[in-house]
Amino acid sequence: MADEVVLLDFRPSPFGMRVRIALAEKGIKYEYREEDLKNKSPLLLQMNPVHKKIPVLIHEGKPICESLIAVQYIDEVWNDTNPLLPSDPYQRAQARFWADYVDKKIYDNFSKISASKGEEKEAAKKELIQVLKLLEEELGDKSYFGGHNFGFVDIPVVSYYPWFKALETFDSLNVGECSKFTAWAKRCLQKESVAKSIPDQRVINELFVELRKNSSTE
């Protein structure tokens, strides 16, 4: 029943994208509701009173907040198809570790790059490339971080891909230096679940321009 699963989302959001991907991977039908972040719906405020943020997955009327928690929930409930996490506890723990690493390091550096200028900006750009290089090491010769199959670590990393493209365009971030990462990203983008969940790059680019205008003091 499609009305059993509702997703409160914002198309350009990488966090929303993760839940979209997970739902698509499992073939779950759901109702998609786009939120206007400047005018949040009463439902969103009711379902996520603590953070008031998207995405919120609502299953049988109950909200699940925080993108990676929602992805784990989806994996545990719809556990008969396309597992997103490994079954071995140590490998699961490693997947959780890397997903946490990605959210700390990629997100923080994106914020730094957007908010700073000159030397500080260059330093953050350098650090972001180092993060990608470390991820490439972790990927090794595997097709995906999950091994043969796309999984729990691939999802948050690929969700940042549109932001990487925007930084390439606006900040000359040299993502091309990381050829393994680029190849992996291409592989992910060929997956139907990713292709149909990824926002339009033009929309992302427009948002970047708008955000920078608003935060610029010049």
Q: Under the rule (CB under 8 A), what is the footprint of another protein?
A: 50-51, 59, 62, 64-66, 69-70, 72-73, 76-77, 89-90, 92-94, 96-97, 100-101, 134
SS3 assignment for 24-46: HHCCCCCEEEECCCCCCCHHHHH
**Min CB(146)–another protein separation in Å:** 17
Nearer to another protein, 1 or 50 (CB): 50
Task: Write phi, then psi, for 152 (nearest 5 degrees).
Answer: -60, -30
CB distance 165 to 172 below 8 Å: no
SS3 assignment, position 76: helix
Nearer to another protein, 96 or 112 (CB): 96
**Min CB(127)–another protein separation in Å:** 13
CB distance 8 to 55 below 8 Å: yes
- One-letter amino acid at 81 equals T
**How, if at all, do strands 56-59 and 5-9 pair?**
antiparallel
**Min CB(24)–another protein separation in Å:** 19
**Min CB(94)–another protein separation in Å:** 7
Nearer to another protein, 58 or 166 (CB): 58
Nearer to another protein, 81 or 172 (CB): 81
Nearer to another protein, 59 or 165 (CB): 59
Nearer to another protein, 129 or 207 (CB): 129
Give 13's contacts (C-beta < 8 A, 6+ positions apart): 54, 55, 199
Gap between the Cα atoms of 9 and 58, Å rounded = 11
Gap between the Cα atoms of 215 and 119, Å rounded = 18
**How, if at all, do strands 31-34 and 56-59 pair?**
unpaired
**Min CB(100)–another protein separation in Å:** 6
**Min CB(57)–another protein separation in Å:** 9
